[in-house]
Amino acid sequence: MTTATKPDYRRPLDWKHGQVDMTHGSGGRAMAQLIEDLFVANFDNEFLRAQNDGACFAVPSGGRMVMATDSHVVSPLFFPGGDIGCLAVHGTVNDVAMAGGRPLYLAASFILEEGFPLAELKRIVESMARAAKEAGVPIVTGDTKVVEQGKGDGVFITTTGVGIVPPEVNVSGANIRPSDRIIVSGMLGDHGVAIMSLRENLSFDTTIQSDTAALNGLTAAMLAAVPGIHALRDPTRGGLAAVMNEFARQSGVGIVLQEDALPVRPQVAAACELLGLDPLYVANEGKLVAVCAPEDAERLLAVMRAHPHGQDAAIIGEAIADSHCFVQMETSFGGRRMVDWLTGEQLPRIC
Amino acid sequence: MKYIDEFRDGKLARALARTIAREVRPDGSYRLMEFCGGHTHAISRYGLEDLLPPQVRMIHGPGCPVCVLPIGRTDSAIELALKPGVILCTYADTMRIPASGGLSLFKAKAQGADVRMVYSSTDALRIAQDEPQREVVFFAIGFETTTPPTAVVIKQAAALGLTNFSVYCNHVLTPAAMVHLMELSAAGGADSVRIDGFVGPSHVSTIIGSEPYEKFAACYRKPVVIAGFEPLDVMQSILMLVRQINQGRAEVENQFIRAVTREGNRKAQRLTDEVFELRAAFDWRGLGEVPHSALKIRAEFAAYDAERRFDIPYRQVPDPKVCECAAILRGQKHPSDCRVFGNACTPEQPIGACMVSSEGACAAFYTYGRFRSRTSS
């Protein structure tokens, strides 16, 4: 009997007990196997299957291209309502969508820490694949690096997206004019509070789930109804307050918000009360703020409310002429106060 | 939110505002000091000043623990944090206090110091239990409210026989500071400030009760109304103060009856007495040396006293010259009177401590109120 190696035999990766090791990033067979059996198998599309260094695709004619990138270092990696995988897809899809763009393709870059369980990596990649499929945006190219134990925190993911902005759309934080209306797409602060509830030094029980979601469907519906939307942005780190201040500064206007109109879940309000946080500054991952001319506001609001990701949409304020570019709020108490930029760091590693 | 929203009802607030406006003397002037930073924060955050008639002027007091901590004490905390093997546990507010040499605990952390932000003293104790090979120091600051929890962990550490846990004690006392403010005024001169009544401490009073203010009110002929931290509490207390002033009364009244009794929390007081004793004097930013205004750990618990364990003598460090924190903490100046407010001194790059904590007068005005242009003090 002759002993012959079976042609093309590879011992499958141990998805139950296996761990990432340095060979998975070394450019050898182990890396090729990880890419094929995990990334290509899950993200599965013609560009990845071609196994080239980059994805080559036709550019749709007309309009402008938009490109956005986002790194994800969230801790913990798994949280109520999501994980770093779907978050990495949603984050970049939303950045493209907030430019008024229709996201077309994503690139994903992984930095893995030696010793990271393959089972968890698989869960993350499957979640990414699901999120990309739901958003209708394939992951067409990627990269994998492995760093020594202690030099990373399990997994960091950077995603980059490209999309097309139709010629009639011109969305920018610099387009806002006095009397424009500010609309938010739903409940504020869910993501930040969901992450916070898991942090070891402030663990508390909550039913709050992260709102992480791809918003390209919502923005498509909104732009179809009101192509002249002035500005769009997703209030992630720094929350609504940061976006309002960015808008005010970019457009050289003031903004006045109505505290009574802000949609916040009672559980989120209660958690913030307990921790001394302000929901205005807490991160969201599936919400957007839209600014439009006053005559378009009701129509836009109706379209948003008809979409699953905009059911709780509300008009929360308007732009005013103000050379100081102050963001103010009429409090439910009847007074007025500023809504300033966040100072320092409210919570690190939130996305 | 039940039990919270009721105290933030805008309709009730407007009704109270109308009553206050009706009852103030048209030609009167009511200078009311809210002692606590918690009240300062509520006033700014809910825009209460918009609801008050021009005769009523709120003066921010020194009741912000981060603000009154002198630079020398923060320097010592940083020195401790930079010692090899030490984990310094601290409340978040202290992280950005500007100290000597452009340092802060935040910057010390970037330099490699192991500084951990905790939400309670028990978190610090847990870290000491989890990391027995490290020296864990809890940087304890605050008024009477945060003192009992510090006493609890010192007793627990003793019961557990922990040998790697100690407390850097900076707990200060409210009534002593109020007395000192009045003495400064009575002495006349540059440090004096006219105050017609006090919105009295909220959480502090849940511990010490309303009784300790009685002598103060009688002695200095100033009304004190103990008030909750919710905006309606503050509005109602202002009305109660206006009425006392109009009627020439100087009594201690308790608006915060849902939490404060005359005798306070006896159990917490006993715990505090058991673990701490009065310091002869303590240096306050803005007020200087105030006699019997702070606590130190009793000799019986010396093993848990970081000041004894690490031998860190206190060095007095003067405030930066441009900084008006001292006058602001005494109620003599408004944040907008300070030259560096909003330009060289901002929450991102604070020069003075009043710009650090959200309870600090400067930070509260910068964050919530600076759209109101004002020049007068």
Instruction: Give per-residue pLDDT as tens, B169-191.
Output: 999 999 999 999 999 888 877 77
B13 to A334: CB separation less than 8 angstroms, yes or no: yes
State both tokens at A275: 């921790």
- A116 CB-near residues (< 8 Å, 6+ apart): A19, A20, A154, A155
CB of A348 less than 8 A from some CB of B: no
Nearest to B100 by CA among B355, B320, B370, B349: B320
Which residue of A275, A333, A344 is in closest CB contact with B8?
A333
* pLDDT exceeds cutoff 60 at B377: no
Task: Please list every residue in chain A whose beta carbon sits closer than 8 Å to the beta carbon of residue B347.
Answer: 343-344
- State how beta strands A155-165 and B288-291 pair: unpaired
DSSP summary character for residue B194: -
Instruction: Give per-residue pLDDT as tens, B121-162.
Output: 999 999 999 999 999 999 999 999 999 999 999 999 999 999
Give the model's pLDDT for residue B19.
98
In percent, how much of chain B has pLDDT > 70? 99
Residue showing tokens 């090729």 = A32
Q: Are B217 and B224 in contact (CB under 8 A)?
A: yes
Give the model's pLDDT for residue A32.
92
Question: Residue B16: which pLDDT band, with cuts at 50, 70 and 90?
Answer: very high
CA–CA min distance B192, chain A (Å)? 30
B10 to A270: CB separation less than 8 angstroms, yes or no: no
Which residue of B17, B358, B371 is in closest CB contact with A328?
B371
Helix H or strand E segment including B78: helix B71-81
Question: Residue B192: which pLDDT band, with cuts at 50, 70 and 90?
Answer: confident
- pLDDT per residue rounded down to tens, chain A (351 residues): 556 666 677 889 999 999 999 999 988 989 999 999 999 999 999 999 998 989 999 988 888 999 999 999 999 999 999 999 999 999 999 999 999 999 999 999 999 999 999 999 999 999 999 999 999 999 999 999 999 999 999 999 999 999 999 999 999 999 999 999 999 999 999 999 998 888 755 666 778 899 999 999 999 999 999 999 999 999 999 999 999 999 999 999 999 999 999 999 999 998 888 877 889 999 999 999 999 999 999 999 999 999 999 999 999 999 999 999 999 999 988 889 999 988 766 666 777
Q: Which own/partner contact pairs does B123-130 have at CB distance under 8 Å and 24+ positions apart?
A: B123/A201, B123/B89, B124/B89, B124/B153, B124/B165, B125/B153, B125/B156, B125/B157, B125/B162, B125/B165, B127/B87, B127/B89, B128/B157, B128/B162, B128/B164, B128/B165, B129/B160, B129/B162
CB of B130 less than 8 A from some CB of A: no
* pLDDT exceeds cutoff 90 at B230: yes
Higher-pLDDT residue of A343 and B375 is A343
What would the mean pLDDT of B48-57 be, rounded to a whole number?
94
DSSP count for chain A of H helices, then E strands: 10, 13
State both tokens at B68: 């009154």
Instruction: Give per-residue pLDDT as tens, B82-102.
Output: 999 999 999 988 998 999 998
A contact test, residue of B367, B370, B374 with most A CBs within 10 A = B367
For residue B289, give Cα distances in angstroms to A221, B66, B320: 66, 17, 18
Task: Please list every residue in chain B whose beta carbon sits closer than 8 Å to the beta carbon of residue A337.
Answer: 44-47, 368-369
Q: Note which residues in 275-334 of chain A have CB less than 8 A from chain B.
A: 275-276, 324, 326, 328, 331-334
Q: Are A317 and A241 in contact (CB under 8 A)?
A: no
Q: pTM of the entire structure? A: 0.85
Domain residue spans of chain B: 1-366
Higher-pLDDT residue of B274 and A198 is B274
CB of B249 less than 8 A from some CB of A: no
Give the model's pLDDT for residue B31.
95
Q: Which domains does chain A have, with CATH numbers?
A: 22-165 (3.30.1330.10), 181-338 (3.90.650.10)
B1 to A326: CB separation less than 8 angstroms, yes or no: no
**Sign of the CA dihedral with B47 first, then B51, B55, and B56 last:** negative
Q: Are A250 and A172 in contact (CB under 8 A)?
A: yes
Q: Are A175 and A250 in contact (CB under 8 A)?
A: no
State both tokens at A188: 């504020």
CB of B46 less than 8 A from some CB of A: yes
Q: Kindly report the length of chain B.
A: 377
Nearest CA in chain A to B346: A343
Give the model's pLDDT for residue A347.
62
A326 to B44: CB separation less than 8 angstroms, yes or no: no
CA–CA min distance B67, chain A (Å)? 17
Instruction: Confirm whether the ipTM is greater than 0.90.
Output: no
B370 to A328: CB separation less than 8 angstroms, yes or no: no
Strands (E), chain A: 64-72, 78-79, 82-83, 102-113, 139-147, 155-165, 181-184, 231-233, 254-258, 289-292, 314-320, 327-330, 336-338
Which residue of A270, A324, A336 is in closest CB contact with B1?
A270
B contact test, residue of A203, A257, A325, A333 with most B CBs within 10 A = A333
Higher-pLDDT residue of A344 and B325 is B325
Task: Please list every residue in chain A whose beta carbon sits closer than 8 Å to the beta carbon of residue B371.
Answer: 324, 326, 328, 336, 338
A76 upstream amide cis, omega within 30 of 0: yes
State both tokens at B264: 């306070």
Give the model's pLDDT for residue A349.
72
Taking the C-alpha atoms of residue A104 and residue B373, their distance in angstroms, rounded to an integer, is 49
B1 to A333: CB separation less than 8 angstroms, yes or no: no
Nearest to B368 by CA among A296, A336, A42: A336
Give the model's pLDDT for residue A93.
98
Taking residue B45's Cβ as centre, other Cβ atoms within 10 Å add up to 21
CB of A336 less than 8 A from some CB of B: yes
Angle separating helix axes B231-246 and B37-45, nearest 10 degrees:
110
Half-sphere exposure of B205 (CA within 13 A, CB side): 30
Instruction: Give per-residue pLDDT as tens, B327-355.
Output: 888 888 899 999 999 999 998 888 888 99
Where b means 16+ CB within 10 Å and e means fewer, A123-144 reads bbbbbbbebbbebebbbbbbeb
A–B interface: beta-carbon pairs under 8 A? 71
- B215 CB-near residues (< 8 Å, 6+ apart): none
Taking the C-alpha atoms of residue B141 and residue B167, their distance in angstroms, rounded to an integer, is 10
DSSP summary character for residue B132: T
B189 in the Ramachandran plot: left (φ > 0), alpha (ψ -120 to 50) or beta?
left
CB of A61 less than 8 A from some CB of B: no
B49 to A335: CB separation less than 8 angstroms, yes or no: yes
Nearest CA in chain B to A278: B45
Where b means 16+ CB within 10 Å and e means fewer, A67-85 reads ebebebbbeebebbbbbbb
A336 to B1: CB separation less than 8 angstroms, yes or no: no
Task: Please list every residue in chain B whose beta carbon sits closer than 8 Å to the beta carbon of residue A338.
Answer: 367-371
* B1-366 to CATH, choices 3.40.50.11740, 3.30.750.24, 1.20.1090.10, 3.90.260.10: 3.40.50.11740
Q: Are A51 and A31 in contact (CB under 8 A)?
A: no
Which residue of A328, A333, A343 is in closest CB contact with B231?
A333
Query: Residue A164's beta-bridge partner residues?
Result: A65, A102
Q: What's the alpha-carbon Rg for chain B, to the nearest Å?
A: 21
State both tokens at B146: 């945060």
CB of B374 less than 8 A from some CB of A: no
Taking the C-alpha atoms of residue A250 and residue A234, their distance in angstroms, rounded to an integer, is 16
DSSP count for chain B of H helices, then E strands: 15, 13
Helix H or strand E segment including B267: helix B266-275
Q: Are A81 and A194 in contact (CB under 8 A)?
A: yes
Taking the C-alpha atoms of residue A205 and residue A226, their distance in angstroms, rounded to an integer, is 41
CB of B51 less than 8 A from some CB of A: yes
**Sign of the CA dihedral with B181 first, then B185, B189, and B194 last:** positive
